[in-house]
Chain A
Amino acid sequence: MSLLKKCVQQLLENTNLCSQTIAATAAAFHTSPVCNRVQAGRYRVTTKRNRALTYEMANPPHYIAHRKAWNSWNTSSMLDGLRPSQTAIEDVFMRKFMTGTWHALIVSEVIIKRQHNMIRIAAIMRQAISPRKMYFLIGYTEELLSYWLQCPVTLELQTVADKKDVVFKYI
């Protein structure tokens, strides 16, 4: 009987303690490790250490403006910039069009730089197709994009002989 009494007393004490701690932490700032997880633009290390990364991929997004620069250069993203949403959508469209048109040829990010109404697209390509086809694709891309976006578009490409030339490190 005395044992039961003791147990009950302890239980009561425990619950009392619990309620106290809840009251203390109710107003506190809630942080959870799952919410803090950041994954975008970061690559996991492989066991064989054979995942090839370019310089762009090797530096996660928080290094932008420290170790690497932006991929889109325009005045919309500045403070009080005009038509930021349209510019972002156009950039996404241009990137999609480039990766689709130059299929499996682009080995870097597509860099879009705007100056006045001029759009200059820069990228690094593989030398996997003949120069003749490459010239055709350049003209095709410029013509179609300038028709859709209603402003002059220039493609400024750099080519590499091998895909491995752009690899910065393996993780």
Chain B
Amino acid sequence: MASLTRLLERNLRNSSTAAGRRLYSQTQEEPAAGTKHEFDDEEFRVLNLRAAKQTDQQKRRVFKKEAALPPRHLKMATDQDWTAVWPGPRTFQPSSVPLPLRQGYTEKGAAPPSKFVNAELMKIPNFLHLTPPAIRQQCEALKKFCTPWPKGLESVEKWEKHFPIEVKSTDYCHALPTIRNPDARRVTLNIKLSDLKFDAHAKDKFLRLVGDRYNPNTGILTIVADRCPLRKQNYDYAMYLLTACYHESFVTEPWEQNKSEADMEYYSFERNKSKQTAEAIINWGIPTDAAKLEVSQDFAQTVELLINEGENEYNLGRYKEEVLKLLSVRNE
């Protein structure tokens, strides 16, 4: 029952839409020629195999190809201004470059592919925009922004005298939309230790403060700062470290007085027992009120060398000579 009503409904709807169309579109809609033919003809349609030409069929519009222009380099004069042809970096364009280039690998004997339709030539970066005349032109244009070299800084010695601190940092160029690189923040500060003025205590303390940042072979102190996010901050921090270490090295703390002979970094004859003993031997039998004899400078140096450098044949030989000299014993 339900299906029947549905069927009826559909028929009704169809008839109503047909009626509507008839009502509203009678004046506007003209039935097409083909449909008219179909409806009017009572007979079967004839399939005409011979009829090659059908006049009523609309001709397909033929796309008229415009002839491509000949390559530009054929039209260019031999004294053409090349910087005008190739002003900036650009992918290789065979029609503009008047060079018989070839690139590509072929089997033995065959010529490499020519410059036309050669994707390999389009891939590789070219420097056709950086010909010597182009560079000369750009230098001429930049000249007006240049300033003369400062007087008094002609040689490396003069730079080093006036600017003892060397600051190094790296800029990075990317082929990316970003201009930032986290490695650009790193700042390296170099200074020769001989450019700083120290006394003995301050130098000792400074070297202890900087630790392995000082290279004793070259005498150069290197401070690397990379803990801050910006280069400026790192530069400031490196300069702060240098200043703080320098001034701190001149401060003598109360606990530094407790430094005993065992804490010394090197052996000094002046403050050791061997000096007292040697003087005691020399001055043996001399009355106390008379002027005391001093140990010779050579002996002091030899003893220092023997203990600081270690025992070797040369040091021991020298020590023997100095001892004999000190005791006025002739070596037979």
> Residues of A with Cβ closer than 8 Å to B?
54-56, 59, 63, 66-71, 73-76, 82-83, 87, 108-109, 111, 113-117, 120, 122, 124, 127, 130-131, 149-151, 156, 158-161, 165-166, 168
Hey, what's the 0/1 contact readout for B75-103 against A, CB within 8 Å counting as 1? 00000000000000111011000000000
* Interface status of B317 (Cβ within 8 A of chain A): no
Q: Is the CB of A69 within 8 A of B175?
A: no
Q: Is the CB of B175 within 8 A of A115?
A: yes
Known: A70-B123, A116-B176. 17 other contacts (CB 8 A): A55-B118, A55-B119, A55-B120, A71-B123, A73-B123, A74-B175, A82-B174, A111-B123, A113-B123, A113-B175, A115-B89, A116-B179, A120-B90, A122-B122, A124-B117, A156-B93, A158-B93
With A75-B175, A82-B176 given, is the CB distance from A113 to B120 under 8 Å? no
Q: Is the CB of B94 within 8 A of A158?
A: yes
Nearest chain A CB to B112's CB is how many angstroms away?
Answer: 10
Chain B residues within 8 Å of chain A by Cβ, number: 29
* Interface status of B65 (Cβ within 8 A of chain A): yes
Q: Which residue of B lies closest to A167 (CB)?
A: B117
Q: Which residue of B lies closest to A160 (CB)?
A: B117
> Residues of B with Cβ closer than 8 Å to A?
63, 65-66, 68, 89-91, 93-94, 104-105, 113, 116-120, 122-125, 173-179, 181
Q: Is the CB of A68 within 8 A of B120?
A: yes
Q: Is the CB of A82 within 8 A of B117?
A: no
Interface centre among B119, B122, B124, B179 (most CB of A within 10 A): B119
- Chain A residue numbers with a CB within 8 Å of B113 are 55, 168
Partner of B105, one of A67, A73, A115: A67
Q: Is the CB of A116 within 8 A of B174?
A: yes
Nearest chain B CB to A75's CB is how many angstroms away?
Answer: 4
- Chain A residue numbers with a CB within 8 Å of B124 are 69
Nearest chain B CB to A23's CB is how many angstroms away?
Answer: 49
Nearest chain B CB to A64's CB is how many angstroms away?
Answer: 11
With A70-B123, A156-B93 given, is the CB distance from A165 to B117 under 8 Å? yes
- Chain B residue numbers with a CB within 8 Å of A114 are 175-176
Q: List 16 A-B contacts (CB under 8 A).
A: A55-B104, A55-B120, A67-B105, A68-B123, A69-B124, A74-B175, A111-B91, A111-B122, A114-B175, A116-B174, A122-B123, A127-B68, A130-B66, A156-B91, A158-B117, A166-B117
- How many contacting A-B pairs (Cβ < 8 A)? 93
Q: Is the CB of A82 within 8 A of B181?
A: yes
- Chain B residue numbers with a CB within 8 Å of A108 are 119
Partner of A74, one of B66, B94, B176, B181: B176
- Chain B residue numbers with a CB within 8 Å of A55 are 104, 113, 118-120
- Chain A residue numbers with a CB within 8 Å of B179 are 116-117
Q: Which residue of B lies closest to A157 (CB)?
A: B91
Nearest chain A CB to B94's CB is how many angstroms away?
Answer: 7
With A82-B174, A127-B65, A168-B113 given, is the CB distance from A120 to B120 under 8 Å? no
With A55-B104, A55-B113 given, is the CB distance from A73 to B119 under 8 Å? no
